[in-house]
Structure 1
Amino acid sequence: MGIRGLNALVSENAPRAIRSSELKALFGRKVAIDASMCLYQFLIAVRQQDGDVLTNEAGDTTSHLMGFFYRTIRMVNYGIKPCYVFDGKPPVMKGGELEKRLKRRTDAETKLKEAKESGEVEEMHKFQRRTVRVTRQQNDEAKKLLKLMGIPYVEAPCEAESQCAELAKAGKVFGAASEDMDTLCYQPPYLLRNLTAAESRKLKIDEYNIKEVLKGFEMPIEQFVDMCILLGCDYCETIRGVGPVTALKLIRKYGTLEKVVESIEEDPKSKYKVPENWPYKEARELFLHPEVTPGSEVELKWTEPDIEGLIEYMVKENGFSEQRIRDGAGKLKKALKTGTQERLDSFFKVAGTRSSGTKRSAEEDGKKGKKGKNGKAKRRK
């Protein structure tokens, strides 16, 4: 679900924190991608003309395999080194949200059945997408494919978004790619949205700079997280009647959720009612101190793809075109063998901070780098 209304609030209060660009702007970057989010995207978006998912001869779904294969190749061809992070065990506090999702999916299945009986094609397609559920088998199939492609993946102990953020904070990757805005609460240097969908849907990639986000709101991360919890997150329900504008106003006025709750409970005329046993403190802890594998313990390695292994798995086992898989694997091999060149800005220490609205060439950045004895700009260590 993410954080309700957060994107609009960031756009209004910290516009300099957001930069929109094309995929090629990430040339030379390593990026940690929320694989669980990708699985949902691919199962929903990669469909046959009649709206049904792709399947092999055995009837098993293969839409996710096609999505991971081709969109990963596209990123690598743009000079991006992706690594995928898979969800681990969800936090106990997320149980309520998962129950709601199950109920919504069950309701959609009922409406899908009704649409089929009445022959309403558009309604069928709509509810088919709402019934999508990612299985453990599909997770394992995606991991097997990535291994054959030579693309690293990480199994998070808990939430994929928090592990992506940890890899970014540890300097293993440039940023965390996810559609969930709650990723900002885990403080990755950069959050990337629309990364896996940008090319196919002609979308721009939105890059969020967490330092600029906090600067725009004039808040430390603790206060920002409190605001996000008040907006509504996966870990606890909201205070009914408190929307984005009110949530921001309350946090700015009282500073912390403790004081917001206290002000509501002590005011007999308050129109707001705090849910009984509201676990906002536990939610805050999950955002500020998530369960992750330390980035220093994670090694990311991109290797040459196993082309014959890909043919065996994608063609013989799952019915994809051999020529297309060979062509795709050849492009992947060439791109990975060539290696992702270092971005020019990684060789220089740039004076000042580039704002989201300022475009500056790499050559201009280089001229402002610190110089060594030989008069050339020093490389960053």
Structure 2
Amino acid sequence: MGIQYLNSFIKKSVTKEAIKKIKLNSLFGKIIVVDTSIYLYRFLADEALMENMYIMLALFRYYNITPIFVFDGKAPIEKAKILEKRNCDKINAEKEYNLIKSNIEYFNIGEDNEELVERMQILKKKFIRIKRDDIIKVQQLMDAFGVTYIEADQEADEICAKFVIKKIAYACLSEDMDLFVYGCSRVLRYLSLINETVVIYYLDQILHDVNIPFKEFKEICVISGTDYNFSIDNRTNLYKTLKYYKLYKLNNDTNQDFYSWLDINSDYVENIFKLYNIYNMFITDNIELNRFKIKTKKPDQNRIKELMEPEGFIFV
């Protein structure tokens, strides 16, 4: 998800002012926008979808954090290739999982075989699928808590980024590194419900520390491979792109942009028109937020109990 190697590059290249672990109480009184599907997958993988969603919502309420949950809509046609690959990966993971499970049952292999059990757990997480019923249950819980959720026409990340860019939301909670390419100024990652912490990335400080202007940072990220132009054979990747970028900065004495320089001076760009098209997909200018209303209603405790008691919750 997002640009391969970008997170490791950022972590190695920036000061402690660019990335900080903070307690959730540091976000007291703030609005945050949430890239919801990431957490649905995570909570389903933990076999605790409703439990963890309840904890998340309860923590946000306790710390007076106003969330805007954004659900994914239809993916653009440009993403068909990677979606097909992900679906194949899920099918293969499920086949391997079922094969191991059958062998355990047929050969009476003990379930205390840690290596096999661990492998099955890893595989199971790889073929998780979100069902419509899962979404309905989660949205019912959000309604009961009185928080805002949005079902996007397109993918959630660009709407999330726009909320932050327009300063409606303070930050976006997501694990997707693509948020930086849209220009999202603050991204919250590594949410821990147990420790009540999150790691905040500050885009402006990151750009300052790596000494790359945003336009060129975006160009670097896009050509290195996004969900819309990922490279199966690793023909392009972040570290290769950065080597070319250094040459560009040393040898470009004109006003050429990075892509034009690459197109003339290397064979790194296969199709510059396609590349510019993908670059423009990370522009949020045409996204209208006026149709979305942020609501803050009082939680309906009776409805919350009604939804959570079947999940094993006991309210006193």
TM-score interval (norm. to shorter): 0.7 to 0.9
> 2:69 maps to which residue?
84
> 1:335 maps to which residue?
none
Q: Runs of 4 or more off by more than 4 Å in structure 1?
A: 273-278
> 2:145 maps to which residue?
149
2:278 corresponds, among 264, 279, 283, to 283
2:214 corresponds, among 211, 218, 221, to 221
Cα gap change, 1:65/1:17 in structure 2, threshold over 3 Å: closer, same or farther?
same
1:262 corresponds, among 245, 261, 264, to 264
Which is further off, 299-308 or 210-219? Answer: 210-219
1:190 corresponds, among 186, 193, 202, to 186
Tell me the amino acid that sits aligned with residue 314 of structure 2: Q
2:229 corresponds, among 219, 233, 236, to 236
Q: State whether structure 2 residue 119 is matched by structure 1 residue 123.
A: yes
Q: Residues of 1 paired with 2:141 and 2:280: CA distance?
A: 35
Stretches of structure 1 that go unaligned for 5 or more consecutive residues are: 48-62, 266-272, 328-381
> 1:100 maps to which residue?
85
Measured on the aligned residues, the alpha-carbon RMSD in Å equals: 2.3
2:314 corresponds, among 312, 320, 323, to 323
Query: Is the contact between residue 41 and residue 128 of structure 2 (CA under 8 Å) also seen in structure 1?
Result: yes
> 2:28 maps to which residue?
27
Cα gap change, 1:133/1:322 in structure 2, threshold over 3 Å: closer, same or farther?
closer
Q: State whether structure 2 residue 123 is matched by structure 1 residue 134.
A: no
Deviation at 1:311, TM superposition (A): 3.1
Query: Is the contact between residue 112 and residue 127 of structure 1 (CA under 8 Å) also seen in structure 2?
Result: yes
Stretches of structure 2 that go unaligned for 5 or more consecutive residues are: 105-115, 249-256
Deviation at 1:208, TM superposition (A): 1.4
Q: Residues of 2 paired with 1:174 and 1:193: CA distance?
A: 14
Which is further off, 9-18 or 102-111? Answer: 9-18
Deviation at 1:26, TM superposition (A): 1.7
- 1:276-328 alpha-carbon deviations (Å, 9 max, x no partner): 68832221111124763x2344321111122222333333xxx223533xx6x
Tell me the amino acid that sits aligned with residue 64 of structure 1: L
TM-score (norm 2): 0.85
Count of aligned pairs between the two proteins = 295
> 1:2 maps to which residue?
2
- 1:327-367 alpha-carbon deviations (Å, 9 max, x no partner): 6xxxxxxxxxxxxxxxxxxxxxxxxxxxxxxxxxxxxxxxx
Greater RCO (CA < 8 Å, at least 6 residues apart): 2
SS in 2 for 1:66: helix
Query: Is the contact between residue 32 and residue 65 of structure 2 (CA under 8 Å) also seen in structure 1?
Result: yes
